[in-house]
Structure 1
Amino acid sequence: MDDISRRSLELHERLQGKIEVVSRAKVETVEDLSLVYTPGVAEPCRQIQADYQKSWELTRRSHLVAVITDGTAILGLGDIGPAAGMPVMEGKCALFKEFGDVDAFPICVDTHDTDEFVRTVQLISKSFGGINLEDIAAPRCFEIERRLQEVCDVPVFHDDQHGTAVVLAAALINAIKVTHKQTGDLRIVINGAGAAGCAIATLLVHMGFGNVILCDVNGIICEGDEGLHAGQEALSHVTNADHEHGTLADALKGADVFVGVSRGNLVTPEMVSTMNEGIVFPMANPVPEIMPDKALEGGAAIVGTGRSDFPNQINNVLVFPGIFKGALQAHAKRITEEMEVAAAHAIASLIPDEELSPTNIIPSALNKSVADVVAKAVADHVE
């Protein structure tokens, strides 16, 4: 057990949970009790019964997000079950509060059945203003999110997909400025075609960054390949414009950008040396696809990872508190691609052009001003 793991375990043992419920109403007198609970509480109940929209005004719903998992893809640990995933869900809730002043509640659902999971979340959705799906394995996560967006009247957002995509897009916006590359002309290689990789590819294509080439364990994904899941199949029609085949090393030749959402030590300095002054984002955790010093050794112009101990940390905490804060403020029914694009540009804008450098393309994950800037951008783009 390394030092950070030992200290984290000690913290969890001491706290016995990282979040708690705190009453916003004082209950010190009989009158307080009558107002907070019976008989007075009956009137807000009647108001909501008569007008469903008043549930946003008379309850905490407009500030409350459910953080929901089935425990099938917890961090890099895999399918460890809902109970073992609870520390991660609590941690996510703590970040919602600390960075966005959004109340969040962890819910761990004990099922691998997609229908059962969707039905469970649908049935509890009226208690919340938004649903943050977390650590659900691909490809089930794609269907779960799609179906919940169809049946819920609140935004449903799978952060492993879209949060990662938004923060990566923000970093890329600024990396392009530093390297003087041209948006639209980029060759972008994404390694890892699971939840995060597919979402990143989808958003980068939508934003018009250039030719996206998606790779999985078998190499470059091409239209017409067999064995693709639904997400990969859809992307095969809008990526890999030249219908290339080959390995990750083949894909990286002449590439402007590498995005890694796969596993550690898959990329070598020699592979980076074949890129076009590469922007390299190896985001596998805890071990990136290539360590920053090795990427720089291979000639990378900019390197960003998912780790806090290197410059340019690509961290979802820059995204989800602000996206939900904005969506909740605007009573949005869903989070659209245009809201995600607005969030990416908002995050990128927090580094002034005169302060951009190869080691400063993205705000610090601890910058608590980010959420309000993102929230405003998102709220302004609610349909």
Structure 2
Amino acid sequence: METLREGPKGRRWAKKEKPNLGKEALELHKKLRGKIEIRSKFPIKDTHDISIAYTPGVAEVCRAIHADREKAFEYTSKWNNIAIVTDGTRTLGLGKLGAEAALPVMEGKALLYKQFGNVDAFPICLATTDIEEIIATVKNIAPVFGGLNIEDIETPKVLEIVERLDAELDIPVFHDDQHGTAVVTLAALLNAMRLTKREPESTSVVVAGAGSAGYGIVKILKEVGVQDITVTDSQGVISKARDLTTMNKYKLELAEMTDRDGSKGSLSSLADAVKGRDVFVGVSGIKGLLSAEMVSSMNKDSIVLPLTNPDPEIHPRLAAKSGAKVIATGSYKFENRANNALVFPFTMRAILDNRVRTINQRLLVAVANALADLVPKNSLTPFNILPDVMDKRIQPAVTAAVKSVAK
């Protein structure tokens, strides 16, 4: 890991010996043969235990739930179960790997859900990429679960899946690429703006990437009052002037949110978009997308958040040398980790406990503020803008934030 520090002679990089994380991961997974398992809460000691945990006693529980479906939250594990659903079409930054190859990631997510939120999460890796089959399958298995986590499905398909499931099911649908990334980005940005003495209304932001994460980030930034937002994708800048055949319905929505006056049509590239701007947020999936020259062209004390995993849009060291004041990545290879692990386990715990039905922008903003406020203002530095995932204060803070909105 490389650590950026402020010393008497300015910023310097302290290098640690690089571990071979890929080799270690392979060894760990082979040794464990899976990172999760199911354990019983009720050890069977005799036949009487069987008769109340199973038949005939369990029949009375079935009758109670049949009379009132809501009793399933009281009498079964439904209250604490979530499904992590993927079709393997956008696994990490690796692309379309298939259901089996997505399983290690979903197991890892389930592990974090249990470790940090005490949520029982089940990997559901589907052998179909058809949108209607995915929606139908999830709806058919929904009775087992108190919530859903949609994960690593290609855009724009996934946005429609989340939209429809949210409308058609009576349990919350959390989309980590959209909701989780938006929350951790806003939390990092709130503290970065405090450090650089900026206010949302007067801060200009460029978001590189118009997929699920970019879509979610723009929505949450608009919710807190950021007005000047420019979004780019592989075709250039999202604007009302662009050829409509290059944009899906969600990119058209982004154009409406970010280019109301039609002025963004004059920008032809990412280099044009970042020039004279305050903030760069990278969710493009492209390593090295942001150059040193682009960072140098940004406003003084710029904020650079290259969040693509496993390799960011620009190396933090290069961003710092090019003038960026605050830098955070989504990678655990560097400090200032704006990673979704800060969000999904704790937020889902609070959502389940408060029986939240729909995840809206107010809830997401409340969680982002709670995370940002865990770093005291007198402790903020360019290298300390987010709490560590091991911080025991996160769950109480997030629970309080969700409860305040749920009321």
**Fold-level similarity (TM above 0.5):** yes
Contact 1:324/1:375 (8 A) holds in 2: no
Note the alpha carbon deviations across 1:35-86, whole angstroms, 9 max, x for none: 1111111111111111111111111111111111011101112111111111
1:1-383 matches, within 5 Å, as 3-225=20-242, 226=244, 227-241=246-260, 243-244=263-264, 245-262=267-284, 263-276=286-299, 277-382=301-406
Contact 2:178/2:217 (8 A) holds in 1: yes
Counterpart CA distance in 1 for 2:132 and 2:192 is 42
Alignment length (residue pairs): 382
Secondary structure in 1 matching 2:200: coil
Note the alpha carbon deviations across 1:170-194, whole angstroms, 9 max, x for none: 0001111000012211110000111
Counterpart CA distance in 2 for 1:210 and 1:186 is 8
Instruction: Name 2:13's counterpart in structure 1.
Output: none
Counterpart CA distance in 1 for 2:65 and 2:283 is 45
Contact 1:145/1:156 (8 A) holds in 2: yes
Counterpart CA distance in 1 for 2:275 and 2:51 is 71
State the 1:224 CA deviation. 3.9
Secondary structure in 1 matching 2:206: strand
Contact 1:189/1:251 (8 A) holds in 2: yes
State the 1:286 CA deviation. 2.1
State the 1:268 CA deviation. 1.6
Counterpart CA distance in 1 for 2:221 and 2:82 is 27
State the 1:376 CA deviation. 2.5
TM-score of the aligned structures, taking structure 2 as reference length: 0.92
**Deviation larger for 311-320 or 282-291:** 282-291
Counterpart CA distance in 1 for 2:389 and 2:348 is 17
State the 1:97 CA deviation. 0.4
Instruction: Name 2:6's counterpart in structure 1.
Output: none
Unpaired segments of 5 or more residues in structure 1? none
**Deviation larger for 337-346 or 220-229:** 220-229
Counterpart CA distance in 1 for 2:38 and 2:399 is 24
State the 1:4 CA deviation. 0.9
Counterpart CA distance in 1 for 2:166 and 2:233 is 27
- AA aligned to 2:274 is L
Secondary structure in 2 matching 1:237: helix
Secondary structure in 1 matching 2:96: coil
Secondary structure in 2 matching 1:7: helix
Counterpart CA distance in 2 for 1:330 and 1:74 is 30
Alignment RMSD: 1.3
Contact 1:100/1:372 (8 A) holds in 2: no
State the 1:368 CA deviation. 4.2
Contact 1:96/1:104 (8 A) holds in 2: yes
Contact 1:322/1:373 (8 A) holds in 2: no
Unpaired segments of 5 or more residues in structure 2? 1-18
State the 1:210 CA deviation. 2.8
State the 1:131 CA deviation. 0.3
- AA aligned to 1:237 is E
State the 1:220 CA deviation. 1.2
Counterpart CA distance in 2 for 1:288 and 1:65 is 30
Counterpart CA distance in 2 for 1:104 and 1:286 is 24
